[in-house]
């Protein structure tokens, strides 16, 4: 059974960099699929951040692209998110997920982590 | 303001049927496949429907999806109190080059 678990600081200061890791168990990242990050501000809807393939190929939300880096470490079977220059608007629950995108026109998340709350505050 | 438009809320009685709409344009729903997610209170989203109308293993056939033109619909029959949740549609937007979601619909089972 595939499971994903987010980890990282729950509190980040404004202007600093948010760093999270998603550890995958029950499935080897090298075996395929994309892996993604999605966030949900308090009381609001879902926002896609970006996806990464085990080869390192990435797709980012254009609205966040200048501040986002997603990387993968296949030896540790995890992938990571870095979001720089954070503000209060980046306060959200951050989810990692396995992404199935067999075609350009198909993209959905079939396995989700439980999410981790990140608050941006001094 | 979400790229995909969903009604903020819907409600129905136990045992009844409800539909949730998701409206978009040609660059998203019109030319790409739609997925639906269920988010129970305090939990992570869960995939309900993918490729417009397919159900992952373990999702009961009370849940169904359809798409016509630039709109998609999630249907739930035999409503149960355990179905009370927020429901989100999602799809790729070819013009924005981003995965987009609807604003979510809160289902209340009266």
Query: Shortest CB distance from A107 goes to which of B44, B56, B92?
Result: B92
* Ranges A18-27, A77-86, A102-111, B81-90: which has the least confidence: A102-111
pLDDT category at A34 given cuts 50, 70, 90 is very high
The proportion of chain A whose per-residue pLDDT surpasses 70, expressed as a percent, equals: 100
**What are the residues facing B2 on neighbouring strands?**
none
State the average pLDDT over residues A80-97: 98
The CA angle A17-A18-A24, to the nearest 5 degrees, is 140
Render pLDDT for A13-25 as a digit per residue (tens, 0 to 9): 999 999 999 999 9
Cα gap A44→A91, rounded to integer Å? 11
If interface means Cβ-Cβ distance under 8 Å, which residues of chain B face chain A? 2, 31-33, 35, 37, 43-47, 50-51, 56, 88, 90-92, 94, 96-104
Render pLDDT for B74-108 as a digit per residue (tens, 0 to 9): 999 999 999 999 999 999 999 999 999 999 999 99
| C-beta atoms of B92 and A106 within 8 A | yes
């Amino acid at each position: 059974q595939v499971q994903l678990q987010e980890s990282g600081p729950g509190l980040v200061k404004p202007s600093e960099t948010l760093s999270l890791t998603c550890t995958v168990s029950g499935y080897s990242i090298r075996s395929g699929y994309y892996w993604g990050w999605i966030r949900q501000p308090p009381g609001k809807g879902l926002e896609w951040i970006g996806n990464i393939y085990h080869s390192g190929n990435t797709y980012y939300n254009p609205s966040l692209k200048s501040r986002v880096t997603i990387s993968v470490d296949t030896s540790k079977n995890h992938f990571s998110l870095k979001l720089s220059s954070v503000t209060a608007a980046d306060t959200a629950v951050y989810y990692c997920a396995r992404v199935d995108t067999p075609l350009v026109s198909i993209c959905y998340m079939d396995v989700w982590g439980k999410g981790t709350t990140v608050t941006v505050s001094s | 303001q979400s790229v995909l438009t969903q009604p903020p809320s819907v409600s129905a009685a136990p045992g009844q049927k409800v539909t949730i709409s998701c409206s978009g344009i040609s660059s998203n729903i019109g030319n790409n496949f739609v997925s639906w997610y269920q988010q129970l209170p305090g939990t992570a989203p869960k995939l309900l429907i993918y490729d417009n109308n397919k159900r992952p293993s373990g999702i009961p056939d009370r849940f169904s999806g359809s798409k016509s033109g630039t709109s998609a619909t999630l249907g739930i029959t035999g409503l149960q109190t355990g179905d009370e949740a927020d429901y989100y549609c999602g799809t790729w937007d070819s013009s924005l080059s981003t995965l987009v979601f609807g604003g979510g619909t809160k289902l209340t089972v009266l």
